[in-house]
Structure 1
């Protein structure tokens, strides 16, 4: 039986949202925090290693985005089955998502061994020191791709059954270990940039193993079920297309930044990784929305889902304002944490005002993304992202290259991308067409 509107409003209280969002926040923050540590460690090796990490790290971010697609699709499906009272079916979604994730991860690892060099040269704009170093980093770091994607699938089904506690241990432990290994391998052991890649692969492999062990402990059938995997692929196609639009945009942004020189692409790496960090932290609200909205609609409770959407959108805006103020206050200090090169720090300041200005807008966007993903309204998100990328972000960054606008032009394009998505999400929320009840949409 559905709750009354008053009960739904109480269930959607900030305390209830925080109970899921705060553990998810720690999990989401762990990986980008490690990347920031990695960037700081490598940044002091010089311009070439930092630029190589920017290129290689952007490619691995593509793999992480594929993991996000797997996690988000799994969370929505698992949450709806969990809300309908079928926990075993919710976990079964995780089993099949894990097989899918592992297979894709193996393909990524093999693909980088064969094509990592050509990809690095394409992104940099030709052969050279940066391309060679990026290719070497990619070949090693990509060995952790199967573990990275297994962890993403594990996060997905555990969020779906509203268990955000175990992922804390499964993510924090490997990342803490890797954060200790990275400076040790890079400096005292003298591996340089290679040490960074090894530390990445170790963390990702260990994390994936822990999530796989959690599935085994559930004592559910572990054999692959091709029919269910096909269903997940079909239902996740919109998220995959949406993710491809994101990645085409960010890969293009890195490619354009690389054409402005090593200092520009190094500064872009610093600002972009900080942006990814704030995005993933703000995404904690989206994770809570996916789990709670999916469960509410799975149980037939549209009133609860609508109450959650309003509250989570408001909380996202408040958190975005807070981040904007913090980032503005750190303008003269933070870039120096990641590079001692004055040219890199100078270039970072070009992107900084745009970085600050988009935070409040991005807070609402990420929160409402989670609402619609939990509701299974991913076709709308797909169309929105493709239109905003092709009609806003991509033209803006290539125009910045053509007009020689530098890093500021690239980050103005990113801000336009966020604004377009915000307007369309608010229109969709107001329409109410996203709140469709049922165990699986």
Structure 2
């Protein structure tokens, strides 16, 4: 099978061979900083999970449920805030510096509004938590986590928008260093705030003493780390050479047409992300009905999977930029070429990680918990995760490539149909109706994500995404 497109015309089917990766250095030059950023984020969440696992299973379960609910809310707007990166990438590919700065500002306006909405929603989330039917203790701890995480909602959305400005121009090192700085702050504060510290004496006074805060301390640490990341990104965006080239320091007025384009392209992507995360909220809710131990084990599985989807998300971001730049430069065949190479790299990574999971299945859960009932579920869940992460990788890469082209509606439709028509009903049937355990639930999830990945891969292979027009 050849690795070249069957035809160079846009919209025709393309072939894929896993034999060799072309332009790997160019792709990895963009992907590696993103991957390092995502891995540092994964490490931060791993530290959160491991430390809370030493507090108690209820805190671990609440952090898992609270994290999923928080990101479900964020997911409604995340892609809307970051979609400006698609416009920046295509404008950069076309060599239009003024348009780059213009859409960076329009994305920032959307980020500020959506961030404020998420903050309000987080503080009133206690209204919806009884609906999860989790134990009262888990609900109370979950609300504490969500409330303090929502404090940084504006910073989260702003970081997505400003990262789009950098990444769309292939400048991925700045977001990497800013993300690393925020994550280091988070980890240091985690240890300090979760377990507390007696402080130190100086001048007859005690300094930096804090009581143990548990899950509240973990969420506050995450919010502060997020704010550090956002402030650093804004500071770097105002560098003299960027002000001179893109006039990024001069506020652009809200442009109704530009905002409408961002919403038109970004809303399906936001909807896809929200439906996907909403499905996982329901997944966690159904598992939570089986008890805190099952929910804690599922949270550890999600944490383990972050070592798959975080690096692949970094690769996905690189794919979106490369595809967007190529389409902006009027080269759909080049865009398809980049897409194929990204698929290969993602496949190699997922297969390698799957082998590592299988080899270490007896030992992984011990990093996160010392509860014997949780540890007993570990080996089987690690095997289920090894299968799931491969299918999720295909889905993620496909979605990112399509988003880089601005072809976002198809992915949303597929996600809605499979998540709400199959994933959620199947999880309810397996866990609630049949009273199956968490392992059965994760195997069912693998089937759903396999189908989703296949449908999105077929969309890429068809070449129809090359006809998408985002500035029209």
Aligning the two structures, in what range does the TM-score lie when normalised by the shorter sequence?
A: over 0.9
Partner residue in 1 for 2:363: 333
Residue 253 of structure 2 corresponds to residue 245 of structure 1: no
Query: 1:270 touches 1:335 (CA, 8 Å); kept in 2?
Result: yes
Partner of 2:91 in structure 1?
Answer: 81
Aligned match of 2:218? 196
Moved over 4 A (4+): 9-12
Match of 2:251 in 1: 222
What's the counterpart of residue 203 of structure 2? none
Change (3 A) 1:232 1:11: farther
In structure 2, the partner of 1:316 is 346
Contact kept? 2:398, 2:456, Cα under 8 Å: yes
Q: Which residue of 1 aligns with 2:459?
A: 428
- The reply on whether 1:357 has 2:357 as its aligned counterpart is no
Contact kept? 1:319, 1:360, Cα under 8 Å: no
Q: Match of 1:161?
A: 169
Structure 1 match to 2:422: 392
- Assess, with a 3 A threshold, how the Cα gap between structure 1 residues 188 and 328 changes in structure 2: closer, same or farther: same
Matched, 1:414 2:425: no
Say if 1:50 and 1:438 are closer, same or farther in 2 by CA, change over 3 A: closer
Counterparts of 1:394 and 1:414 in 2: how far apart (Å)? 9
State the Cα distance separating 1:308 from its structure 2 match.
Answer: 1.1
Higher mean C-alpha deviation, range 158-167 or range 232-241: 232-241
Say what the alpha-carbon RMSD is for the aligned residues: 2.2
Superposed CA offset, 1:403-440 (max 9, x none): 11121232123212221122212322222111127673
For 1:384 and 1:23, the matched residues in 2 are separated by 30
1:199-228 Cα offsets, whole Å, 9 max, x none, are 011011111222223344434232441412
Q: State yes or no: 1:148 paired with 2:156.
A: yes
C-alpha change, 1:437 and 1:258, in structure 2 (3 Å) is closer
Residue 210 of structure 1: which of 227, 232, 246 is its match?
232
In structure 2, the residue matched to 1:41 is 51
Structure-2 separation of matches of 1:174 and 1:423: 36
Q: For 1:88-110, what per-residue CA distance to the aligned partner results, in whole angstroms no more than 9, with x for missing partners?
A: 31232222212211221122112
Tell me the distance in 2 between the aligned counterparts of 1:139 and 1:66.
17
Which runs of 5 or more structure 2 residues have no equivalent in the other structure? Answer: 1-6, 9-15, 198-211
TM-score, structure 2 length as denominator?
Answer: 0.87
Question: Cα–Cα, structure 1 residues 120 and 312, in superposed 2: closer, same or farther, change >3 Å?
Answer: same
Q: Could you tell me how far apart the structure 2 residues matched to 1:351 and 1:43 are?
A: 17
Higher alpha-carbon deviation: 59-68 or 376-385: 59-68
Identify, as 1 or 2, the structure richer in helix: 1
TM-score normalised to structure 1 length: 0.92
Q: Relative to structure 2, which stretch is displaced further, 400-409 or 35-44?
A: 400-409
Task: Spell out, residue by residue over 1:67-117, the C-alpha distance to the aligned partner (whole angstroms, 9 max, x if none).
Answer: 64135522211111111111231232222212211221122112222x222
| Alpha-carbon spacing, 1:435–1:331, altered in 2? closer, same or farther (3 Å) | same
Check 1:147–1:277 CA distance in 2 against 1; reply closer, same or farther (3 A cut): farther
The 3 A distance-change label for structure 1 pair 426 and 127 is closer
- Structure label with greater radius of gyration: 2
The one-character-per-residue Cα deviations of 1:141-199 (angstroms, maximum 9, x if unpaired) are: 21011111111112222111111011011111011111011011111332222211110
